[in-house]
Amino acid sequence: MTFTEAQPAIRPCEYKVGKVLGEGTYAKVKEAFHIKTGKAYACKIFNKKLMVGREHMVLNEIKILKQVSQGHPNLISLVDYFESANNLYLILEYCRGGELFYRICNKGHYYEHDAANIVRTICDAVAYLHDQNVIHRDLKPENLLFRTADEDSDLMIADFGLARCLESDSYPLLTTVCGTPGFMSPEILQHLPYGKPVDMWAIGCITYFLLVGYTPFDRNSTADEIQAIIAADYAFTPEEYWVHVSDTAKDFIRGLLMLDPNERMTARQALEHPWLVQYAPRATARDLSVDPAQEALAPGDLLPHIRANSKSNAGDKLRKAVRAMQAAAHWSHILGVEPMNPNDLPMPVDEHLPTIEL
């Protein structure tokens, strides 16, 4: 399999790989360094054997990244792509600043205006995607990364593996069931045609999470969580966790967690919501420092409750792993296929890449 119609050319490999940064169902991500410049990148590696019959997944990710990655400062960039005898490689911008939520938890303080500025950045980037007829389909805190560890680092939206480009505004619907259960919209779970509003539902869940440290539909089982999402059964409780959150913020969330996709705010409308407008003029979440004038609008520090909830909910890796397996079994049953055993999946082959095919 090749990425181009032309006969592959051979040239010396320009990158060397380092430590593993993460692993998923279909790919492994490693550090990569350009041999001549020494610049660090993230290298997403796909095993060719696993991708047989799924080539479109990688090609689609490349297509979308090429389309959008240079058009907005808060979208991760594709730098290069190539293949070897065993693997497919995507060279991506390396976000060294870590995940958003961990950065928040390591801060000395965190206020509602900080959350608003972060959400404004997400909405601005998603508005650009939607203007390009691209749906991300997997917006969640784990896919929000800081470019660097600096205080003024840009926040980046990463992982376009599930993103899709709509044919046009005249055909604005998809049907594939995908995403992360806690951030999936009702129409996806109900197997209904869907479009850009699924990203806005996810932003509503992210906003809720950024304000209190747990998701709006968190339940003890995947089945209960799915039923809660389908019914939009959420509340701003326990009250003590929401005491420092404004009614305007809650109204913003309500405008996104609407059962009817047509009633949800669009990304552009969200940018004009009073909750985001009142914390202007900053249009991007460039830092989490305290602005005294903005702090007066929402004086309570949200960090103590967020830290406590992250330990009992989002920080519980075992619980998240069990829920992921439950979700996989649930969708396998619905789709009538056997659940996939992660241990049976071939991961990318470790190789030194003396040469590559382009």
- H-run or E-run covering 204: helix 197-212
Query: Is it true that the peptide bond before 197 is cis, omega within 30 degrees of 0?
Result: no
- d(CA 18, CA 229) in angstroms, rounded, equals 40
Every domain of the chain and the residues it spans: 10-94, 98-308+320-334
- d(CA 118, CA 100) in angstroms, rounded, equals 9
Q: Would you write out the chain's pLDDT as a tens digit for each of its 358 residues? A: 455 443 444 456 799 999 999 887 789 999 999 999 999 999 999 998 888 888 888 999 999 999 998 899 999 999 999 988 888 999 999 999 999 988 988 888 899 999 999 999 999 999 999 999 999 999 999 999 999 998 889 999 999 999 999 875 545 567 677 778 899 999 999 999 999 999 999 999 999 999 999 999 999 888 899 999 999 999 999 999 999 999 999 999 999 999 999 999 999 999 999 999 987 644 333 444 545 544 444 458 898 888 888 765 544 444 454 445 445 445 445 444 444 444 444 445 455 553 344 3
Catalytic residues: 138
Phi-psi region at 345: left, alpha or beta (left = phi > 0; alpha = psi -120 to 50): beta
- d(CA 53, CA 132) in angstroms, rounded, equals 27
Please give the model's pTM, rounded to 2 decimal places.
0.82
Classified by CATH at the fold level, domain 10-94 comes out as Phosphorylase Kinase; domain 1 (3.30.200)
Is 140 assigned a ligand-binding role in the annotation? no
Q: Under CATH, to which class is 98-308+320-334 assigned?
A: mainly alpha
- The terminus-to-terminus CA distance of the chain in angstroms comes to 11
